[in-house]
Amino acid sequence: MTTQAASTVPRPRADRRPAPWVRTRLRSAPLAALLMAALAFGTVLLAAAFPRAVDRGADGALRRFLHDRGLSNTRLQATSVLVRDDTAAGLDPVMRQLTDRIGRDVPLTSTGAVHGATVRGRELRNPGLVHLTEANPGLDLMYLHDVAAHATLTDGTWPGPATPGQPLPIAISRTGAETIGIKLGDVLDNGEEISGPVRTKVVGLYRADDEDDPYWDDLACPTRACAPGGAWTTGGVVDGTSLAALLAWGGNAKEARAFWRLPVDTGVVRADRLGELRTAVSGYITGRGATDLAAATRSDLRVNSALPDVLDRATARYEAAAPIAAIGPAGVAGVATVVLCLAAALVTERRTAELRLLQARGGSRGGVLLRLLGEGAVTVLPAAVLATTLALVLLPTPRWGAAVLAAGAATLFALLAFPARAALLWARPKARGGRRRVIGELLVLLLTGAAVAEVRRRGVAPVGTGVDPLLIAAPLLLALSGGVLLARVQPVVVGWLAGAAGRGRGLVGFLGLARAARDTSGRRRPSVLPLLALLIAVTTAGFGATVLGDVDGVRLRAARLTVGGDASLTLPVGPTLPEDFTRAAAALPGVRAGTGVWTDTETFLMGTKDGSAQVTLVVAEPTAYAEIARTLRSGTFDPAVLAGAPGGPDTPVPALFSSALGPKVAGGPVRLRLPSGGELLLTDAGGVDATPAIPGSFKPFVVVPVGPAAARLPELARVNAWFGVGDIDDGQFAALVRDKGVTAATGLVKVIREAAGAAGHDPHALPGGYTVHTSAEVGARLAADPLQRSAQRLFWAAVAAAAGFALLAVLLTLLRAAPERGAMLARLRTLGLRPRQGLALILAEAVPQTLAAALGGALVALAAVGLLGPAFDLSALVGAHVGEKLTPALLPVLLPTAGLTLVVCAGVVAETLVSGRRQLAAELRAGDQR
């Protein structure tokens, strides 16, 4: 029997589970997931990289600053009175104890570490020695631990133990011996003491293995002969067993000292631990640490160091530069936040139908949001971890907390942006009226006004309180307020332009401008976010560029004030400049004004209201000197006030007095007395607060014209300095100085040059006291400060990152409107719109917002400089203490603004060319579902 098979309905297998929702969703839109991961990667990478870059720059600047201060300012030196029972073996354990105890709190290095004993110097009275001046040469003696490891014996032997009644055996440097005229085996006469003659015998000559070795620093010329007081002096070393004889040779037990030098390792000092280091060093100088050291070693041991003052200056520089360095990254953070919000809005609009369908089919709000959060975690978290790891590896620094915290905040925001935006779909619709928006905008404006007023009232936060958050937030708040105002103004202006274009014959301009005045839903209220992103980027770039532009100008002026012009040559007491040098210097190419000057600090002003006063005399040619003062904006005066006819000694010479002297000389002539005994009668021709010839001096001074002054006292016609302004070539000026600028009747220059040649140094170098400076050289030295370079690099990196995010914000805005715009172009193409007109239409829609944001950002940047400029101290970025504040300037704002505008416009054009190639048939087949 046949039976008809019954039809069956397939049922799902019990062991088959539905595909995971997150995996299915990511597979359905891999490109969107990849783009979201890329956006999260870039954002988190910058968030983690900026704190690391700031830390690296601060550490590098601090270490360079400490290194440039030299060993004498970055070491701790312990001293104790030398006693007869002291031996070299007894000094060694003290060094080990000091190193162990101090090294626990202060990083120390063995480079430059040395200990030993020194005594005051004595004269060398032997006949036939080289005399630099009338004074006898001098000899300093010392014991230096392990000196043989840093010097090579060239003749004789190293000193041995002292023999009672015999000259003290010593070794001196071969260079110093040849300079002074000492030979191996000489018995040196060092004067008399109560116990009898004091003698030393040269038993060895040595040569320093490296004269630049820190081992020799801060000692009394042990490697060569020097002339600190106008007479040759060199140092000699004794054996470690001769400390008692060394004490007797010195003749004064109070000036015989044992010392232990402990250099600080500046290569490992960290900017974030400056306070701890300063506290530790101060404690070993005057605190509990000093007491413990004395109790553990020698009762009279004292530690001294200039390091606390140096660290105070380093801290002030670091904290002054920190707000300026933080403005760029803060701007990037603001633009990145806007971009993430735009990306979340774009994704939410694209998936609104899907999310509402899930809601209609019974999906709970929490369940849907958890799935969205899981979808974001799969894309965002791996990218964030990779970006954070990359930043930690590529920018190594001991501090990682700030970088990880910033990366975590960026990751959390990127992860929650889309779910938070999607949650608004479940919010209860609010009645339209704009009241909440108006209240929010008013709150932003009030907050901005309060922040700016507070910053202007109190200035920057005091040193030691860290980065001032209000000073960092104020420019961003100004940009936010500018965006709020521009969002209100732009639709009205663009709508008016659209109306004007509508009255013309063309249709493309009208349609593009009309769409630019509305958002994708057609309301007359375009999105504020892309406008705000552009505005923050432009404001940050313009504000930072103004800061750096002002720094360059102020640095040039500071360099000129330091030099006294664009080039200067000053001489020590005694030598004078020949006339052919002053003529040749004034004739150098590029010199706009130059003059020789006579300065004398040993003059006295007689007959003032307070009696007499010591002043600095400046004798100069009035016209050229007035031009130099005008260029420097220092002590500007009219040269006509110094015009005076020649006359007798009782005819007053017009003079300019410093501001402090002005009230004391008012009412009558006063007399100026020179060191030679000559006198000059002066009359008050005006007052100035500074003068180029003595830059930075707060001492009273007098400026007199050379013609009338030399007519009364011919000695005032001499010249011991030259100052000039203009585009002066450094090499030409230096060559002129070497050829014609160095003369000395005493022959001091010749002796010093011969000694320099014998020591292996450049014999053509200028001797001590001869100073040549140019503003270019001083400015370059100021600009070489790593703190400034780090701040500049960080700023330009922030500008580049902000420009990239601003471009991304514009592109996201275009992508957000791409479906609706594509459908519109497709319909217009059926009505005869040509492809070129379609591209022009897209440009007319996108470019107005870019131009409005660029113009608004430039105006906000200028306003920020004008409002916040007085609160910024430029000294840290200039490299010298200056009193100038930020001033608004158009060019520094326009250049980065134009650059950002071009970059964004180029991105808009590129996106337009790509989107404009969509085929008409593809758009029409898609159907009108928008």
User: What's the confidence (pLDDT) of residue 98?
Assistant: 92
List, as own/partner pairs, every contact residues 210-215 make where C-beta atoms lie below 8 angstroms and the sequence separation is at least 24, other chains included: 210/150, 213/112, 213/150, 214/71, 214/111, 214/112, 214/263, 215/112, 215/114, 215/150
Segment 526-537, tens digit of pLDDT? 567 777 888 888
pLDDT above 70 for 921? no
**Mean pLDDT of all residues in 590-604:** 87
User: What's the confidence (pLDDT) of residue 919?
Assistant: 46
Element holding 266 (H helix, E strand) = none
pTM attached to this predicted model: 0.77
| Position with higher pLDDT, 611 vs 625 | 625
User: What's the confidence (pLDDT) of residue 9?
Assistant: 47
* d(C-alpha 535, C-alpha 619), whole Å: 56
User: What's the confidence (pLDDT) of residue 2?
Assistant: 45
* d(C-alpha 833, C-alpha 673), whole Å: 94
pLDDT above 70 for 520? no
User: What's the confidence (pLDDT) of residue 746?
Assistant: 41
Give the pLDDT band of residue 521 (cuts 50, 70, 90): very low
**Mean pLDDT of all residues in 347-354:** 80
pLDDT above 70 for 405? yes
| Position with higher pLDDT, 467 vs 578 | 578
Q: Which residue has the tokens 């860290």?
A: 466
SS3 sequence, 211-255?
A: CCCHHHCCCCCCCCCECCCCCCEEEEECCHHHHHHHHHHHCCHHH
pLDDT above 50 for 295? yes
What average pLDDT does the structure give for the chain? 80
| Position with higher pLDDT, 364 vs 202 | 202
* Distance, C-alpha 180 to centroid of its chain: 45
* d(C-alpha 721, C-alpha 264), whole Å: 40
**Mean pLDDT of all residues in 762-790:** 71
pLDDT above 90 for 834? no
pLDDT above 90 for 574? no
User: What's the confidence (pLDDT) of residue 767?
Assistant: 52
pLDDT above 70 for 641? yes
User: What's the confidence (pLDDT) of residue 429?
Assistant: 58
* d(C-alpha 142, C-alpha 239), whole Å: 9
Q: Is 716 helix (H, G, I), strand (E, B) or coil?
A: helix
Check if the beta carbon of residue 225 is closer than 8 Å to that of residue 754. no
Segment 362-383, tens digit of pLDDT? 777 777 788 888 888 888 899 9
* d(C-alpha 893, C-alpha 343), whole Å: 29
Contacts of residue 801, Cβ cutoff 8 Å, sequence gap at least 6: 46, 332, 335
**Mean pLDDT of all residues in 115-143:** 87
Give the pLDDT band of residue 128 (cuts 50, 70, 90): confident
SS3 sequence, 360-428?
A: HCCCCHHHHHHHHHHHHHHHHHHHHHHHHHHHHHHCCCCCCHHHHHHHHHHHHHHHHHHHHHHHHHHCC
Backbone angles phi, psi at 629, to 5 degrees: -65, -40
User: What's the confidence (pLDDT) of residue 459?
Assistant: 65
Segment 888-903, tens digit of pLDDT? 777 778 887 787 778 7
Contacts of residue 770, Cβ cutoff 8 Å, sequence gap at least 6: 569, 570, 571, 572, 575, 741, 742
The counts of H helices and E strands in the chain are 28, 20
pLDDT above 80 for 133? no
- Which range has the top average pLDDT, 245-259, 393-407, 417-431? 393-407
Give the pLDDT band of residue 390 (cuts 50, 70, 90): very high
Tokens of 309: 């003052």
Give the pLDDT band of residue 200 (cuts 50, 70, 90): very high
Tokens of 220: 């009394």
pLDDT above 70 for 434? no
Classify residue 137 by its DSSP letter: P
| Position with higher pLDDT, 194 vs 510 | 510
Give the pLDDT band of residue 426 (cuts 50, 70, 90): confident
pLDDT above 80 for 710? yes
Looking at this protein, which amino acid is placed at residue 286?
T
Segment 4-50, tens digit of pLDDT? 444 444 555 555 555 566 677 677 777 778 888 889 999 999 999 98
**Mean pLDDT of all residues in 53-77:** 88
Give the pLDDT band of residue 859 (cuts 50, 70, 90): confident
* d(C-alpha 158, C-alpha 768), whole Å: 32
Contacts of residue 118, Cβ cutoff 8 Å, sequence gap at least 6: 140, 141, 142, 143, 219, 220, 256, 257, 259
- By C-alpha distance, which of 896, 834, 917, 44 is closest to 413? 44
pLDDT above 50 for 764? no
Dihedral angle, C-alpha 29, 34, 35, 41, nearest 10 °: 150
